[in-house]
Amino acid sequence: MTISTRAATYEDEAWLFQLHEDTHKELVEAAYGPWLVAQQQEFFGPLIEGHDVFILVSEGADVGALYLGRREEDTWLELIEVTPARQGQGIGAAALTWVVEQSAKADRGVRLQVHKVNARAKRLYEREGFAEVGETETHHLLRHPCH
């Protein structure tokens, strides 16, 4: 699967929130209860403002997003989202490869956390070379050394 990335702009914000709802509503409801739009928008604002956000593009269409930051000496992958219609087609794996390659160029590893109820995503990360380095009550903490 070939993807490209572009930096998100203000004009992408509504699409990004809809993508977030499309990809996380079921997970949020399973873990925390009803999806409350106003509450989710409050959580979403700092996510947009506090990270480098990239739109994933495949075959000329926007198909997902990455939210990247820095923690300690590593790139922090805060969030990766792929439109439900395009999940299972290798886009997530291609996006992870891109993040790992960019981080390796900067001599950094990649860290992320995945919710414990999201076993499918955890399997993807492990297939892509991430290993568990800890956990919280709700999340597995994973790292890719990029070396």
- Please name which of 88, 34, 39, 93 lies closest in space to residue 66, comparing C-alpha atoms: 93
Instruction: Name the stretches of the chain with pLDDT < 70.
Output: 147
Dist CA 62 CA 106 (whole Å): 26
CATH number of the domain within which 9 lies: 3.40.630.30
Question: Does this model's pTM top 0.85?
Answer: yes
The predicted-structure confidence for 70-82, as pLDDT tens digits, reads as follows 988 899 999 999 9
pLDDT computed for residue 45 by the predictor: 86
pLDDT computed for residue 118 by the predictor: 86
CB 144 within 8 A of CB 124: no
Q: Report the domain count for the chain.
A: 1
Domain that holds residue 63: 4-144
The CA–CA distances, whole Å, from 143 to 107, 109, 114 equal 14, 7, 11
